[in-house]
Structure formats: structure tokens, C-alpha cells
Amino acid sequence: MLTKASTPSSVLLVCLGNICRSPTAEEVFRQQVAIAGLKIKVDSAGTSGWHAGDRPDIRAQKHAKAHGYNISKLTSRQVKPQDFYDFDLILAMDSNNLDDLHQLKDKLADDDDTVARLALFSEEDPIYSGDDVPDPYQGGSDDFEEVITRIESSAQAWIESWRMR
């Protein structure tokens, strides 16, 4: 079982549609993990399947690229039950998606020790602790910029938390 102090071998980042927040978080996390010298498999998914098979939102791609993150090749997918076994840690971008993930996890017949630990993406972040990463989909440029700022901060906070334990 993954304890709070353990560095996971795999992390799944989850938002609603997997076209704005979680694909951005996937690439930010992947780069920060590599810089930190950690060996962690990183992926992303959505709790809904509305955009399954789609590339990230063009606005998310544009803002990510401006910060040095290329998310253009990522493809949206929906969270599936197997993800709870394939990943050690599943991080939700907001409390609604975290609730949805808990409901999915509760439907699994297995013991909690055999499935992924769930947490809010900002859980370890001293700046945004407990805050949702807001969904920029209905917003403008500033909303996408805020998402990147929050994602960079929270990804770094998780990595620092593993280094300190």
C-alpha cells in the first residue's frame, strides 16, 4: 500500500474532460519529475468520456506551449476501473472529481490496500492547499494562465513532499 510518505511509482492526474487541466498537469508533472530525478510513470484521464480520443483544448495547448510544455500529442481518455490498480496515486484537480473517483473506487470489490490512494492535487501545496484547480474551459486567457501557475506549484509541492520524507 502507498502511504502518504511514499514516493509513488505511478501517478494519474484527473479532471472532468481530460482536455484542459489534467493533460497540462500530466506534462508539467512529467517534466518536474524528470528534473527531480524520480522514476514515476505519469498519465492523465477524465471522469467523463465526453472528449475521449480528442487532443487537448487548443487554448490549453497554446498556454502550455508558452510555458515550455507540449501537450499537443496527448489524447483524452476516461478513467477506468483498471486505473485504480495500475496507479499508486490518483490526484484529482478538484473536489467534485475527487468525489467521483471515491465513488468509482468504492464500487471495486478489492481491499483499499490493493488500489490507488486518492488525493486532491493541491493537497501538499502550501499556497493552494485544499483549493480546486479551477476549470478554465468556459473562461479566457487569464484562467488558463492561472491553471498553469497552480499546476506548477502543486506538482512541485508533491515532489518536495516526497524528498522531505
Say if residue 10's pLDDT is above 60: yes
pLDDT of residue 6: 83
Q: What is the pLDDT of residues 78-134, one digit of tens each?
A: 999 999 999 999 999 999 999 999 999 998 866 666 799 999 999 999 999 999 999
Say if residue 1's pLDDT is above 50: no
Q: What is the pLDDT of residues 135-161, one digit of tens each?
A: 999 999 999 999 999 999 999 999 999
Instruction: Assign 165 a pLDDT band (cuts: 50, 70, 90).
Output: low
Q: Identify which of 62, 114, 115, 122 has the alpha carbon closest to the alpha carbon of residue 92.
A: 122
Determine whether 77 is an active site residue.
no
* Signed CA dihedral, 139, 142, 144, 146: sign only: negative
Could you say which of 15, 77, 94, 132 is catalytic? 15
Say if residue 4's pLDDT is above 70: no
Instruction: Please tell me the CATH code under which domain 10-164 is placed.
Output: 3.40.50.2300
Determine whether 83 is an active site residue.
no
Could you say which of 20, 21, 43, 94 is catalytic? 21
Task: Say if residues 1 and 85 touch (Cβ distance below 8 Å).
Answer: no
* Signed CA dihedral, 130, 136, 140, 142: sign only: positive
- C-alpha cell, 84: 485504480
The pLDDT of 43-63, averaged and rounded, is 96
**Would residue 76 be called left, alpha or beta, if left means φ above 0 and alpha means ψ between -120 and 50 degrees?**
beta
Could you say which of 77, 132, 135, 150 is catalytic? 135
The pTM score is: 0.94
Determine whether 135 is an active site residue.
yes
